A and B are shown apart, each in its own frame.
Chain A
Amino acid sequence: MAQAASIQPGNARGGSTRSLDVQRWGALIGGAALALYGLSRRSPLGMAIAAGGGALAFAGARPNAKREPIARSSVQVNCSPEKAYQFWRNFENLPRFMHHLESVRVTGDNRSEWVAIGPMNSRVKWNAEIVNERDNELIVWRSLPGSEVSVEGSVEFRRASGDRGTVMDVMTTYRPPAGAVGRAVAKMFGKDPSFLMRQDLRRFKALIETGEIPTVEGQTHGPRDVMTAAARMMDPDRPLPRGASMTEVAAARRRAS
């Protein structure tokens, strides 16, 4: 039963992705039909129908207008659901393995203040509250109305088969607002949100299993050339924007090969 229950959300998610596309095409075609029908009636009601249909068609035709940047990933960690849950439940731990977060401050029983790092060293802030939780099984959080960015997140914990620890399914949705900050956020998560989340979860796993996150940042090395230093900057896992300066490239020597 437990397994069947765990499969269902996955199937439902697969279905919802498909239905999103269907919705968009439905809006485009249906909206256009409504607009034509409204215009053909040549009456105030017809004009209203046409306007509504036009808006619907417009919404359907705009790519990404309704597409939400969803990040989704899964990880198996070698510890009990209780331990994984407790570590995550203290949101102040999250920036230790989520590289795009600068800080999370718990401000109340269910409330917290989040600060993320955007491109060009910008900061994006929001307040969130836990809207659903079950001990050692589930945490769901959502940004409060009026935040700069609209965020939803959930993490499920379940015991892995064969006593192999805990499987965690994590999903977050970021709906950036309009304006410059919104574009910055969108760009940040334009880096493939699911990739970033996989990396976050990999770090979570290392941290909870070993007490540290493996790194070679800051280790010694010989002289880099310009191409190599530039390639380092392009590393998709490079923390944003911490350390992402041009100094390493500038300091690199070009050597005759």
Chain B
Amino acid sequence: MKAVCWMGREKVSVEDVPDPQILNPRDAIVRITSTCICGSDLHLYNGFMPTMEQGDIVGHEFMGEIVEVGPGISADKLKVGDRVVVPFTIACGNCFFCQRQLWSSCDNSNPNAYIAETMMGYTPSGLFGYTHMLGGYAGGQAQYARVPFADVGPVKVPAGIPDEKVVFLSDIFPTGYFGAENCNIQPGDTVAIWGCGPVGQFAIFSAFLLGAERVIAIDHIPERLQMAQRGGAETINFDEVDDVVQALKDMTGNIGPDSCMDAVGMEADGHGLLYMYDRAKQAVRLQTERPIALRQAIQACRKGGTVSVPGVYGGFIDKMPMGAFMNKGLTMKTGQTHMMRYMKPLLERIESGEIDPSFVMTHRVPLTEAPQMYRTFRDKQDKCVKVVLDPWADGAKAA
């Protein structure tokens, strides 16, 4: 089959690789019909996530049709022919954490748990196509993928809804919703959201859904800010203001947003000396992240407010404003999304017509164009917001 492989820093290529096989009783094989490039894939592309290996198949947002199931899966859970969206987190459904709905903390899905433990104390769940530290599972930017614990994660979707309306249930729509839920929104609240990428867009929608009165979105890409405005948000272009924190104060009567969300993560852009300092330290690997958005979110948040962090971090940050965090009595909530809590309820909202998530999709191209699209997406060229890849376009055949 054809698969997008990580071949080194800023280097991905489409390779002919063997088809995936069932390795465990609760595995299934899915024939992928749509798969996306995620903003967090750019952290891999840019070489900032440790424990990638040349030849790793990437991608964690995919959907398709079940073509094979292992002997451990009962037919009432999943069977050949089912059309499914696969969540990016892998969860067993049996452990302490899964039974408490903390799906992305599953204890049994990471075969390389000991590597993650050296970094984080304990391991989160395994993820598709996202470093060996988080499982080393082959990803979904391919024609087929092996799905472990397939009787837990994948959500069946009826025929008749096009892929582009439901494929974002694999990560970014639930992740945006989870980020908004973590904001602890009370009726009438103002929520500030750093990052107007796809997760930020879904977070804007979800924040209003959960009762926010105002959403203020922060970015510097004009088309993304326009998309946020169409979603009902007020916007700040950080290229056009001296100080984002001051701008937020001015917009909120010097109180600050009730909740601040970092939907950017480890490779934030910004201005000024501190930004240059972060870039320099990250370039020579003295720190693994550039936490500009997170610092601003903590500084800007009103006293007693909540900071929500759906943006991805991998290691250690410098100059965490712990004084502001402590003295203002803030709460921080974060985590990889507990996908299985949200996929079905959000699918119902899509089916009812309340939201059509395909509004974030700007590019739908054949899988073979993935290498160019990584660059286009990373450099935000061509007004690129979200890329969906078609593994079978142009009559591409499995090798």
Contacts and interface: CB of A to CB of B under 8 A. Distances in A.
A220 B111 contact: no
Interface in A145-172: 164-165
A236 B57 CA distance: 23
Nearest to A195: B114
Contacts of B3: 220, 222
Contacts of B72: 211-212
Given A209-B92, A220-B17, A220-B18, A214 B55 contact: no
Interface in A180-234: 195, 198-199, 202, 205-206, 209-225, 228, 231-232
B110 interface: yes
Chain B CB within 10 Å, residue with most, of A164, A222, A237? A222
A219 B54 contact: no
A78 interface: yes
Contact of B138 (A76, A215, A216): A216
B96 A222 contact: no
B54 A216 contact: no
Interface class of chain A by DSSP: loop
Q: How large is the interface on A (under 10, 10 to 19, 20 to 34, 35 or more residues)?
A: 20 to 34
B111 A218 contact: no
A220 B126 contact: no
A257 interface: yes
Contacts of B93: 210
A199 B114 contact: yes
B8 interface: yes
A255 interface: yes
A4 B99 CA distance: 29
B94 A214 contact: no
Interface string B122-156: 00001000000001111000000010110000000
Contact of A225 (B15, B54, B138, B149): B54
B54 A215 contact: no
Contact of B114 (A198, A205, A222): A198
Given A211-B25, A214-B148, A257-B8, A222 B94 contact: no
Given A78-B95, A198-B114, A216-B136, A222 B108 contact: no
Q: How large is the interface on B (under 10, 10 to 19, 20 to 34, 35 or more residues)?
A: 35 or more
A156 B15 CA distance: 50
A220 B20 contact: yes
Given A220-B21, A255-B7, A214 B108 contact: yes
Contact of A222 (B55, B126, B148, B149): B55
B114 A219 contact: no
A214 B24 contact: yes
A228 B5 CA distance: 14
B25 A219 contact: no
A224 B113 CA distance: 22
Chain B CB within 10 Å, residue with most, of A198, A217, A220? A220
B200 to A, nearest CB: 32
B367 to A, nearest CB: 14
B26 A210 contact: yes
B281 interface: no
B251 interface: no
A4 to B, nearest CB: 25
Contacts of B21: 218-220
A236 B21 CA distance: 25
Contacts of B26: 210-212
B7 A222 contact: yes
B138 A219 contact: yes
A212 B5 contact: no
A228 B20 CA distance: 20
B396 interface: no
Contacts of B6: 222
A214 B114 contact: no
Contacts of A220: 1, 3, 17-21, 57, 138, 146
A222 B111 contact: no
Chain A CB within 10 Å, residue with most, of B11, B18, B23, B109? B23
Given A217-B23, A228-B54, A223 B111 contact: no
Given A210-B108, A219-B138, A220-B21, 19 more contacts: A78-B94, A78-B99, A202-B114, A209-B108, A210-B26, A210-B95, A212-B72, A216-B23, A216-B137, A218-B21, A219-B20, A220-B20, A222-B17, A222-B56, A222-B57, A223-B54, A228-B54, A255-B7, A257-B8
29 contacts: A78-B95, A78-B99, A206-B92, A209-B95, A209-B108, A211-B25, A213-B24, A214-B111, A214-B126, A214-B148, A216-B111, A216-B137, A216-B138, A217-B23, A217-B111, A218-B23, A219-B23, A221-B55, A221-B138, A222-B3, A222-B17, A222-B54, A222-B56, A223-B15, A224-B55, A225-B54, A225-B55, A237-B112, A257-B7
Interface of B: 1, 3, 5-8, 11, 13, 15, 17-21, 23-26, 53-57, 72, 92-96, 99, 107-114, 126, 135-138, 146, 148-149
